Structure 1
């Protein structure tokens, strides 16, 4: 608890300095987001609990900024932590690491060193209709990860349209050794690359396209993303093929289609998903055993999510959604088909940014 109070004091000190000794550059920011959720089985809730629960949807505090250190060279920095104080998780772990890095921005691109979302994760853009909730993409697919001990590169925009991006993890930071001092983990490079065209906010261009490849997190995955805007309607889609690096027979495709329609300020949202790979949190929490999860084949999972959000002000948003998950699988292409427990989830919440 003393460590948590010390961490909070450091953040508060940094925020205070942003108005004094450190001039105007550092920005103190944060988010509080709470939801009341009812779930049949708790397979997708943030705390894995069923019934009616309070969810903390990644409330956070952070400090970020930049400083020009030479002509056309900027120093970038961010320190961000997740805050769990409002829920039981905060009893043991008040703070959890989020993006924290130091970097440089030049005419040749931006390089960040530290903990950051992989470029595989960020390739989804805003096509994900229910991001940061119990209906996020990672309930169905792999690749949605944030990793430390890494280097991230973002190229400058080419023709104000295309960027090339990469994440590389320092392999030796992830090394594991047996009792004899021999390296026991797989000795493979961990990286992700992406190419992006258009605008993920759909403002400069009314479309967004992305392709990405990932070897991070024990999977090899290919992804394609597309999103387009027609007036008040946004349509999005994601395709991904994922294969386990440990069990070659565990692989498959995943698909998402989403639609968001702005009706007088109310965003009406719907998303359907299909997963044939079995790497998401829903399957992991529903499989009969951990070995089933690792060696599953013939996976067939379907999801449906409908909901809405509305901004009461620039800083405050209310939202609600209903999600349904169901599916089945086999183990190593043998044995009977095993049904997963169907889960129905309803959430209503509020988000406040400052």
Structure 2
């Protein structure tokens, strides 16, 4: 190899290493998360396919960082995309949280695409997040929106925080409704700074009026959580109902044993959408009654690598527009074994 080229390469590597050590520069991060899954009907799998498939559980890559504009103001930024290259998908990249923001003693304001505060109001209550047994299989409200403003308050009176999402109306000409969400919470969703987390949230985003209450508590190695939500369609006033789930996690020598039971009487989740007989049935469904039960476990092989598995079962029924016979949904049973790597 030409000595000049070799020297230049060495200098470049040393320079990049020095920058990462001494400079407050951007951080590259990501996740690879894949499952081998068997499903009877594919109603809740990531690609809605039955049989035995490989699923991509929202693998992603991103860049994030900050810049101190003054002693009191900090610039925040994030660019993140979902990566589907490991599975057969026409969309190799999909948008995730991407924003610019400012942080000060008055709180944090973010501009762009971000998780709505209605989504984050759930804390860590669900035991099987970002899998085919995630809570949106039962409770279906869009959780990430673009063209919005997110505000995170500092702790108020040393007791609680207020988070808000507001979507710019002129970017959403297909609706006349004001689109916003509000979340008020106390405690710590990771259950590290405190042994509890309580939140209450309201949402008018994406054609849904909804309110939610969440509770998480920790007793030594045992965690218990619950979520209740009432959802009403802004397009179909008779399409409304309650949903809830309760979850438990028990840590035994580093293995998290997990169980979750869910009940849905609203019919907005992925399981119902993929099980209803027609789009008309879905939009006019009433008397929805769906049950889910999920059991599983996870174990950290290292700080960055987690292996986990679960079994989920779904069943239910509904009517159309408060009339006609009860229509039974096809039961679905799903088994997954997964590996997750964070970097």
Q: Same fold (TM over 0.5)?
A: yes
Structure 2, unmatched stretches of 5+, are 1-15
Q: Secondary structure at the match of 1:35?
A: strand
Structure 1 vs Structure 2 CA RMSD: 1.5
Mapped to 2, the partners of 1:41 and 1:51 lie a distance apart of 7
- Aligned pair 1:256/2:240, yes or no? no
Q: Find the counterpart in structure 1 of residue 260 from structure 2.
A: 271
Mapped to 1, the partners of 2:107 and 2:239 lie a distance apart of 37
TM-score by length of structure 2 reads: 0.93
Q: Find the counterpart in structure 2 of residue 61 from structure 1.
A: 61
- Aligned pair 1:352/2:341, yes or no? yes
Q: What pairs with 1:128-147 in structure 2 (closer than 5 Å)?
A: 128-147=126-145
Q: Find the counterpart in structure 1 of residue 108 from structure 2.
A: 110
Contact 1:120–1:143 (CA under 8 A) maintained in structure 2: no
- Aligned pair 1:165/2:163, yes or no? yes
Mapped to 2, the partners of 1:17 and 1:223 lie a distance apart of 47
Mapped to 1, the partners of 2:43 and 2:37 lie a distance apart of 12
Contact 2:311–2:335 (CA under 8 A) maintained in structure 1: yes
Detail structure 1 runs of 4+ shifted over 6 Å in the superposition.
none
Larger Rg: 2
Mapped to 1, the partners of 2:57 and 2:329 lie a distance apart of 25
Q: What pairs with 1:234-313 in structure 2 (closer than 5 Å)?
A: 234-313=223-302
Deviation at residue 215 of structure 1 after TM alignment: 0.6
Q: Find the counterpart in structure 2 of residue 123 from structure 1.
A: 121
Aligned residues between the structures: 328
Q: Find the counterpart in structure 2 of residue 73 from structure 1.
A: 73
Mapped to 2, the partners of 1:17 and 1:159 lie a distance apart of 43
Contact 1:79–1:101 (CA under 8 A) maintained in structure 2: yes
Deviation at residue 145 of structure 1 after TM alignment: 1.1
Contact 1:27–1:64 (CA under 8 A) maintained in structure 2: yes
Mapped to 2, the partners of 1:18 and 1:49 lie a distance apart of 47
Structure 1, unmatched stretches of 5+, are 1-15, 176-184
Mapped to 1, the partners of 2:142 and 2:337 lie a distance apart of 24
Q: Find the counterpart in structure 2 of residue 6 from structure 1.
A: none
Deviation at residue 144 of structure 1 after TM alignment: 4.7
Q: Pick closer, same or farther for the CA change 1:272–1:76 going to 2, 3 Å.
A: same
Mapped to 2, the partners of 1:18 and 1:145 lie a distance apart of 39
1:213-237: CA deviations, max 9, x gaps?
A: 0011111001000000000000000
Mapped to 2, the partners of 1:322 and 1:82 lie a distance apart of 25
Mapped to 2, the partners of 1:161 and 1:349 lie a distance apart of 39
Mapped to 2, the partners of 1:305 and 1:18 lie a distance apart of 48
1:9-34: CA deviations, max 9, x gaps?
A: xxxxxxx7994699333110010000
- Aligned pair 1:321/2:310, yes or no? yes
Q: Secondary structure at the match of 1:55?
A: strand
Contact 1:120–1:144 (CA under 8 A) maintained in structure 2: no
TM-score by length of structure 1 reads: 0.90
1:165-191: CA deviations, max 9, x gaps?
A: 10001111111xxxxxxxxx3311111
